[in-house]
Amino acid sequence: MKELIIVLENLIDKLDFISLKLYQDKEHEGYVEFTKNIGEMTNIVTLIFQMKESNSELPFDETLFLEKLALSVKALEQKDAVLLADILYYEVSSQLRDFSAYISNME
**pLDDT exceeds cutoff 90 at 10:** yes
pLDDT of residue 92: 96
Using pLDDT thresholds of 50, 70 and 90, give the confidence band for residue 21.
very high
Domain with 52 in it: what CATH number? 1.20.120
The pTM of the full predicted model, rounded to 2 decimals, is: 0.90
Is residue 84 within 8 Å of residue 75, measured between CB atoms?
yes
pLDDT tens track for 24-43: 999 999 999 999 999 998 88
Of 88, 94, 50, the C-alpha closest to 69 is 88
Q: What integer best gives the mean pLDDT of the chain? A: 92
Residue 37 sits in which domain range?
2-106
Its sign, for the CA torsion 78, 80, 83, 85, is positive
Number of domains in the chain: 1
